[in-house]
Amino acid sequence: MMKFSAYGGLHGGILMRIAYIDAFSGISGDMLLGALVDAGVPLALLQRTTRALGLDAELEAKRVERNGIAATKLDVIVAGVKDAPLDVKHEHTHADGSTHTHSHSHDESHSHEHHAHEHGSHTHEGEHRGLREIRAIIDRAPISASAKTIALRAFQLLGEAEAKIHNKPIEEIHFHEVGSVDAIVDIVCAAVAVDHLHIERWVCSPLNVGGGTVECAHGTLPVPAPATLELLKGAPIYSCGVKKELLTPTGAALVRALISEFGSMPAMSVTSTGYGAGAREFAGMPNLARITIGEADETDTNPATDAPQDRVTVIEANLDDMSPQVFGYVMERLLEAGVLDVFGTPAQMKKNRPGVVLTVLAKPEDAERLSAIIFAETTTIGLRMRQESRITLAREHVAVATPWGEVRIKVASLGGKVMNYAPEFEDCRRIAATHDVPLKTVMQEAIRSYLPETVNHG
């Protein structure tokens, strides 16, 4: 099969779009967003998205240099005011509704985040938002279902991390900096930018978290902050020795919402690159996040097995308030809609309610359409979505004769060698019912008929 690349040229096989994030200087929401714009996402699209959120915000971009490297710096203007990256005390609102101060000392900490500062008498309204309020903002936003899924997942992950740290139900968690207007804009616009690029595989480098400490009402705490560290479970992290906070909660939440793979840059043909700038400059280290976008032939084989390897989108939802009868219907609807696979896993949900985890495997290009079906047919208000590699054996059907009729045998092979074989269940069931023969007898006879053919012709 030949496919034409949007970036020029004919290629053999099916092309897969890959994005690689270099977080050599940490990452924040605005840095990732700047890198995405620098890599080719239209700024006008994100400015329209920002205005459509109805938060009295605008998105501003400018070209800057960090240690001599040109990059895009994005700022969110809220009610006509742009926050400056000052080393001042920030107020945080937590689960009990109280506030405490979180000091970044000039020498020991650093944040890329657009924090909510007081400028004279000005403060941003609505900074103390809970997950319910943020979900409502995203739900009514005029963006695609897949972009909503990414944004909602980022906030859900952050809410779960904060809930664990403070030992509170997630519904009682109220965000301050990450619930402020500029952070909401960063996350929603990043989700829209990602959706625009149609990336099928996201990979990230190990994450540079920085170092030093932060002072807050809980005492002196090391970088990364507790919620950030909770988000980083399972991800490779390190510190380059810089005594600054390089990885922010928003950056960590977006990385975990997007990334299922960490490691070195995968093999690909590079089509574009982008650099997003942080607010400050460091001696000897550019304060940048870099994204590299490219293409690879997804029909390439896995070197360990020589089996064809491709990418699938995994869509998941936790369901604890839906009838089992409806769940069965949802599975049928999804199968009719063309999913690669769908299944349910029993799980114990919050408040000790029994539930089920719905898991769907889909082609990346079908993910948005299938997500819309899940939202329409189930009670879920959020989906988890990730890209994963899949290795599949070559499959074919071989017809064999039995005393009662023909049965198809599904044969799976690797490099021409048969690895698995099984009679088609529906063929065997039909014959068993028609001829009043035990089903297991039909299946055994079909296998017996297939095996001599394999010996004689193999």
In a domain, 206, yes or no: yes
Here the CATH number for the domain that contains residue 425 is: 3.10.20.300
- Asked, as a colleague might, if the bond just before 224 is cis with ω within 30 of 0, I would say yes
Q: For residue 307, name the pLDDT band (cuts at 50, 70, 90).
A: low
Here the CATH number for the domain that contains residue 367 is: 3.30.70.1380
Please give the average per-residue pLDDT across 448-454, as a whole number.
76
User: How far, CA to CA in Å, does 144 sit from each of 128, 171, 189, 253, 385?
Assistant: 26, 25, 12, 20, 14
| Alpha carbons within 13 A on the beta-carbon side of 339 | 24
Q: Alpha-carbon distance 118 to 74, whole Å?
A: 20
CB 76 within 8 A of CB 82: yes
- pLDDT value at 423 more than 50: yes
pLDDT given at position 275: 97
In a domain, 303, yes or no: no
CB 157 within 8 A of CB 150: no
315 with 230, same domain: the answer is no
In a domain, 316, yes or no: yes
Query: Residue 249's closest CA among 221, 227, 222, 233?
Result: 227
| Alpha carbons within 13 A on the beta-carbon side of 397 | 8
**pLDDT of 337-360, one tens digit each?**
999 999 999 988 887 889 999 999
Q: For residue 100, name the pLDDT band (cuts at 50, 70, 90).
A: very low
Total number of domains in the chain:
3
Q: Alpha-carbon distance 285 to 291, whole Å?
A: 17
Of 369, 391, 413, which residue is a domain's last? Answer: 391
pLDDT given at position 54: 92
Please give the average per-residue pLDDT across 322-326, as a whole number.
89
Greater model confidence, 300 or 235: 235
146 with 243, same domain: the answer is yes
- pLDDT value at 109 more than 90: no
262 with 192, same domain: the answer is yes
Helices and strands: H and E segment counts in the chain: 11, 25
In a domain, 263, yes or no: yes
Sign of CA dihedral 126, 132, 135, 136: negative
Where does residue 415 fall: left (phi above 0), alpha (psi -120 to 50 degrees), or beta otherwise? left
- 3-state per-residue secondary structure call for 96-164: CCCEEEEECCCCCCCCCCCCCCCECCECCCCCCEEHHHHHHHHHCCCCCHHHHHHHHHHHHHHHHHHHH
**pLDDT of 56-82, one tens digit each?**
999 999 999 999 999 999 999 988 887
203's tokens: 């990979």
pLDDT given at position 373: 94
In a domain, 304, yes or no: no
- pLDDT value at 384 more than 60: yes
pLDDT given at position 386: 86
Q: Where are the alpha helices (DSSP H) in 324-415?
A: 324-336, 367-377
- Strand-pairing partners, residue 59, are 76
232 with 349, same domain: the answer is no
Lowest mean pLDDT of 22-31, 83-92, 203-212, 254-263, name the range.
83-92
68 with 146, same domain: the answer is yes
78 with 129, same domain: the answer is yes
Burial class (CB in 10 A: 0-12, 13-18, 19+), 96: exposed
38 with 149, same domain: the answer is yes
**Strands laid side by side in the 219-222 sheet:** 89-93, 99-103, 213-216, 219-222
pLDDT given at position 305: 53
Domain of 126? 2-297
pLDDT given at position 243: 87
In a domain, 168, yes or no: yes
In a domain, 247, yes or no: yes
pLDDT given at position 89: 36
Of 264, 297, 330, which residue is a domain's last? Answer: 297
Q: Alpha-carbon distance 248 to 228, whole Å?
A: 7
In a domain, 386, yes or no: yes
Query: Residue 104's closest CA among 180, 210, 27?
Result: 210
In single-letter form, the type of residue at position 58 comes to E
pLDDT given at position 302: 53
267 with 365, same domain: the answer is no
Largest CA distance in the chain: 90
65 with 120, same domain: the answer is yes
152 with 293, same domain: the answer is yes
Give the chain's end-to-end CA distance (angstroms, integer).
29
**pLDDT of 158-192, one tens digit each?**
888 888 888 887 777 766 544 478 889 999 999 99
127's tokens: 């900074």
Question: Strands 207-208 and 237-238, how do they pair?
Answer: parallel
Of 272, 297, 322, which residue is a domain's last? Answer: 297
175 with 47, same domain: the answer is yes
Q: For residue 112, name the pLDDT band (cuts at 50, 70, 90).
A: very low
pLDDT given at position 216: 63
- Strand-pairing partners, residue 53, are none
Q: Alpha-carbon distance 279 to 111, whole Å?
A: 8
CB 245 within 8 A of CB 210: yes
Please give the average per-residue pLDDT across 267-288, as a whole number.
92
134 with 161, same domain: the answer is yes
pLDDT given at position 110: 39
- pLDDT value at 98 more than 50: no
